[in-house]
Chain A
Amino acid sequence: MKSVAYIVIGIFFGIVMLKSEAASWFRIYEMFQFKSFHMYGIIGSALVLGIIFIQLIKRYKIKTFNGEEIIFTNKNKSIIRYLLGGIIFGLGWALAGACPGPLFTLLGAGFFPIIIVIIGALLGTWFYGLLKSKLPH
């Protein structure tokens, strides 16, 4: 039953990604050219509501549907890994025009060359695992 819920949430996410054009290479290009408010509007409005949701959960100690406590783990403090990792991610986001969510949505939409990007993303993840101990964190 829970499995169905995860798939349904994913379907909802996939439809929103494709239909909001957040999965379009062109929208990402336009965002990095500062030529349109579209992507900033999506991320910004998601954020405003997201902050409200999380504050409400914390303030009113809202539980999961199963009655468990919702735990937020703080991210480890560092600058270098977030900045360097972020820059590398940003280079790829602009070049491939897709972040990890839309990668899968575009596959479902039938843009099969995205498979090359997915293979690349898996290789990149694997290389990170191999090099992790040698990188500054």
Chain B
Amino acid sequence: MKRPGIIKAVLIFIFLIFLVDGGLRLYRHRHFDVPVVAGPGVTRVARLSDFGPGLKGTMADTPVYFLEGTEPGGKAVLMSNTHANEPEGFLAALLMLENAVVEKGTLIIIPEFNNSASRNTRPGDGYPLYFEIPTDWGRKKFRMGNRDASPLDQWPDPDVYIHYPDRQLLSYIDVRNVNRTWPGRPNGPLMEKVTFAAMEIMRREKVDVAIDIHGAETMFPVTNCIVAPEKSNRIATMASLTVKAKEGFDSHVEPSPIGFRGLSHREIGDFSDTLPFLLEAPIPFLDQPTGPKTVKFLLDGKDPFLLNLAQKKKLFVSYDESGWPLEKRVGQHCSVTLEILSQYSKKKPERSILVRNVPRYAEIVQKGVGYYFHDPSEAEKDRVYPN
């Protein structure tokens, strides 16, 4: 090798360009906060670490919003971004957070349930770092997260994740998947501390209903559904039938498997008196045999490869040229959530949870998701929270 000094200097220069350019983008993503305008229904804001002190000062700590009604009643917890690469749940939760008014009972919303995952990225799959939603006052920017918590916050991964307390052997990566670490423990890995804190909310606040909002691949059988254990099954079935009859969309009921541990729809019900539900809306972006993972695809859910597979009946949902746009996914989540609360309130009137001012499926599909978000620059400063 001739002139090794010059060659090394050139290589170091190229190395620094890659390091600084890539590093800055990733650093900014991890520290980018989404401003959320607390709506008229928000009466107080706590932190998850108030219920699990082990989370204090970590990236897993996250705001917990309380929307308390003027009349006493039941309590419901709404969690989203359990998997931070399924943004329809987060957007549905924000939509409720910025608009809902609770007349009776209490609604507790944890929009960034896995805050660490929402600050993690998936460059290997070509995920975008951000996406934007058009609103009446401009474009609202969101982080695109990952399914699992960042290794910066919980590392190293074990060879096999041994679930607590059942000792079931799960995939190593599930130790950072907050929907495998329920019911958690106060001194476990960080994600177990997250679920433990959430279980403390269920127990201390005597929560009646817990709803965990997700998105799932169109090629995955558990999609477009409400996953419910035995004790939640009746309400889930009534909610499913009602939205089908009144609003014209499908969201069938899937039983929560007894032998598969660590999931919210299983462990919340087994370790508290709360009725758990997990909502899935189809998100084509998560499917594997698709074109590039662009922001456009994330928002409109249109992909020619999936269309081809749909014609060969390889998908578990109906799929045509209109794709599966974000408005439909968010609309479904809002309607199903409202219907579950409504059905629970009918079953237990003394513990009813009455929520108003949340749009339903048809309205969201017509007006778009961004229509319901408020401009943080126009809001009172003490009503804007970074998420």
* A and B held together in a complex: no
Residues of A within 8 A of B (CB): none
